Structure 1
Amino acid sequence: MKNTKSKKEIGLIVAIALVFSNIIGAGIFVIPSQLAQIAGIGSSILAWILTGLGAIILSFTFANLGSKMPINGGVVEYSRKSLGNFTGFMTAWLYWNGCWIGNATLLIVILKYLNGAFPFMAKNPLIGFLVCSFIIWIFTYINIRGAKSAGAVGTILVLLKLIILILFIIISSKIFNIQNISPIFPTGGGLSSIPMAAAITFWAFEGIESATIASGEIKNPERNVKLSTIIALIVALVFYLSITILSMGAMPRHILANSLDPLSEIMGYVLGSKWIVVINIGIALSICGSSVLWLLSTGRAAYAAGKEKLFPEFFAKLHPKYQTPYISLIIGSILINLLLLLNFFKGLNGAYNFIVLLSTLSYLPVYAVSTIAEIMLVIDFKNKSFRKKILLLIRPSIGFIFCILAIYASGATTVLYGFILIMCGIPVYAYMKKKYNLSN
Structure 2
Amino acid sequence: MTAPSTTEASDTEAKPTSPRRTFGLTAATALVMGNIIGGGIFALPATVAPYGTVSLLAFLVLSVGAVLLALLFGKLARRSPVTGGLYVYPRDAFGEFAGFLSAWSYWTMCWVSIAALAVAVVGYVDVLIPLHGNHALEAVVALAALWLPAAANFAGTRAVGAVQVISTILKFVPLLLVATVGLFFVDADNFGPFNASGQSVSGALAASAALLLYSFLGVESAAVSAGEVRDPERTVGRASVLGTLASALVYILGTVAVFGLVPHDRLVDSGAPFADAVNAITGGTWGGTAIALVAVASIVGCLNGWILLAAQMPYAAARDGLFPTPFARVGKGGVPGFGIWACAVLGTILIALNYTAGPDTTFRVLVLITTFTGCVPYLLSAAAQLYWLAKGSRAHISPARLVRDLLVAALSFAFAFWLIAGAGYAAVYQGVLFLFAGIPVYVWLRGRREAKELGETRQADSEPGAACQASTGR
TM-score range, shorter chain: over 0.9
1:300 aligned residue: 312
The TM-score normalised by the length of structure 1 is 0.92
Partner Cα distance (2:323, 2:196) in 1: 51
Partner of 1:153: 163
Q: How many angstroms apart in 2 are the aligned matches of 1:407 and 1:185? A: 22
CA shift for structure 1 position 265: 2.5
CA RMSD of superposed structures (Å)? 2.3
> Aligned-pair distance for 1:278?
3.8
CA distance in 2, matches of 1:370, 1:314: 26
Q: Give, in angstroms, the shift of residue 390 of structure 1.
A: 5.5
**Does residue 1:130 correspond to 2:140, yes or no?**
yes
Asked if residue 413 in structure 1 is aligned to residue 426 in structure 2, the reply is yes
Distance in 2, Cα, partners of 1:424 & 1:258: 38
- Partner in structure 2 of residue 246 of structure 1: 257
Q: Residues 79 and 370 of structure 1 are in contact (CA less than 8 Å); yes or no, is this contact kept in structure 2? A: yes
* Paired letter, 2:186: F
1:280 partner amino acid: A
* Aligned counterpart, 1:228: 239
Distance in 2 between residues matched to 1:392 and 1:273, nearest whole Å: 50
Does residue 392 (structure 1) correspond to residue 405 (structure 2)? The answer is yes
Aligned ranges for residues 39-438 of structure 1 at < 5 Å? 40-41=52-53, 43-119=54-130, 121-170=131-180, 172-185=182-195, 188=198, 191-192=201-202, 193-269=204-280, 270=282, 272-319=284-331, 321-345=332-356, 353-378=364-389, 379-381=391-393, 382-384=395-397, 389=402, 392-437=405-450
The answer (yes or no) to whether the contact 1:101–1:336 under 8 Å persists in 2 is yes
Matched residues in 2 for 1:275 and 1:46: separation? 27
> What letter is aligned with 1:305?
A
Q: Is the 8 A contact 2:371 2:420 kept in 1?
A: no
- The match for 1:25 is 38
Secondary structure of the residue aligned to 2:300 is helix
The structural deviation recorded for 1:188 is 3.7
User: If you compute each CA radius of gyration, which structure gives the higher value, 1 or 2?
Assistant: 2
| Aligned partners of 1:172 and 1:250 also within 8 Å | yes
How far apart are 1:391 and its partner, in Å?
A: 5.4
Runs (4+) of structure 1 exceeding 6 A deviation are 348-352, 385-388
Matched positions, count: 433
Distance 2:231 2:363 in 1: 38
Give me the TM-score of the superposition, normalised by structure 2: 0.86
8 Å CA contact 2:272–2:288 kept in 1: the answer is no
> Structure 2, unaligned stretches of length 5 or more?
1-14, 454-474
Q: Deviations over 1:130-172 (max 9, x none)?
A: 1222232221121111111011112111111112202323553
Distance 1:190 1:281 in 2: 39
Q: Is the 8 A contact 1:67 1:221 kept in 2?
A: yes
1:275/1:242 Cα in 2 relative to 1: closer, same or farther (>3 Å)? Answer: closer
Q: What's the CA shift string for 1:233-278, capped at 9, x where partnerless? A: 1111111110111111001111101111111222245362245334
Where in structure 1 are there 5+ consecutive unaligned residues? none
Identical-residue share of aligned pairs (%): 28
Q: Give the conservation status (yes or no) of the 8 Å contact 2:149–2:301.
A: no
My pick for the range that moved more, 108-117 or 170-179, is: 170-179
Q: Is the 8 A contact 1:16 1:231 kept in 2?
A: yes
The CA distance in 2 between the partners of 1:62 and 1:420, in whole Å, is: 27
